[in-house]
Amino acid sequence: MRVLITAKNGQLGWELARTAPAELTANNDLLLQDSTELDITNALQVMQRISEFKPDIVINAAAYTAVDKAESDADAAYAVNERGVKNLAQACKEHSAKLIHVSTDFVFDASKNTPYQPGDITGPLGVYGASKLAGEKAAQDILGGDVAIVRTAWVYSVHGNNFVKTMLRLMAEKEQLGIVADQVGTPTSANNLAAALWALASVMHSGSDRLQPLYHWTDLGTASWYDFAVAIQELALEQGLLNKAIPVNPIKASQYPTPAKRPAYSVLDSTALRELTAMSGVHWRKALTLMIKELAQ
């Protein structure tokens, strides 16, 4: 199996690199590209790179992920999240490669209060979610059964910027914090997501007829941002990343206005991908513990 990965310096791209099967690296069957080596908005560059490397599978970890900025910069969001994905899908089609594309819980509008299934009706609340949904559609229109889309949520890693690192910084700087308690989802380790994507790549490469067009992947369990923040502080104190506890208070989303509206409930049901890959999944708090321990090393 030959695999090309975009955005090797993003949270997910970096975790895909460090969890890659050893034989791919040993056999020069893995090509990791950062955004300067492969800009997915550059159709010619995308076509050339895929033509030269001839991957069996492309895993797209590249995205415009600035959720709030997207509200005032829709062109930039769509350029990467829709047209960039289209470029990858067209090059994959031309060179008979399959595509694994990563999408988001923000394609949903939080009208449910039970976990979202991959086939549930979408209804993004903002530009970022709408641009990601447009990318899903573009990939499916071009590649049909040769693309698998994996939606995920609340992603963090030891590498890159994320809620965990922001909380650790603020908890060291501030006397107290108010954190949104009426938005619920599932914190997800990019490391676990990467492992699931490698397992999916292997199933896709085997030519399995059990594949579905859309999957969800998160760690297990649910939390509000407030629950997540409380757990981060507890674990960081245990591991010596923080030396004093500060009060963390629950607030309403309406008390913390942001340019982009966020879903109040965006728990994703990952059962189908867990069954396909035979990966049982890990509770988010256990995954967070491992991440905080790694940060503390």
Q: Where on the chain is the footprint of ligand NAP (CB under 6 A)?
A: 6-7, 9-13, 35, 39-41, 61-65, 80, 84, 102, 104-105, 132, 152-155, 160
**Cα dihedral 52, 203, 160, 253 sign:** positive
Q: How many CB atoms lie within 10 A of CB 291?
A: 22
CA dist 236 and 169 (Å) reads: 11
Smallest distance, ligand NAP to C-beta of residue 190, A: 6
CB of 272 to ligand NAP, least distance (A): 17
Closer to ligand NAP by CB, 117 or 176: give it: 117
Longest dimension (CA), the chain: 57
Out of 64, 128, 156, 215, which one is annotated catalytic? 128
CB nearer to ligand NAP: pick between 10 and 126: 10
Look at the block and give the residue holding tokens 């896709």. Answer: 204
- Minimum CB separation of residue 60 from ligand NAP in Å reads 7
Beta 147-152 vs 98-104: how paired, if at all? parallel
**Residue 175: exposed, middle, or buried by beta-carbon count in 10 A (0-12, 13-18, 19+)?**
exposed
Of the pair 27, 166, the CB lying nearest ligand NAP is at 166
Closer residue to ligand NAP (CB): 107 or 235: 107
CA dist., res. 147 & res. 142, Å (int): 9
Q: Is 128 known to be catalytic?
A: yes
**Terminus-to-terminus CA distance in the chain, angstroms?**
34
Nearer to ligand NAP (CB atom), residue 128 or residue 277: 128
Q: How far is the CB of 11 from ligand NAP (least distance, A)?
A: 4
Assign 146 to helix, strand or coil. helix
Q: What CA–CA distance (Å, rounded) separates 239 from 168? A: 12
User: Minimum CB separation from ligand NAP for residue 161, in Å?
Assistant: 7
Catalytic residues: 128
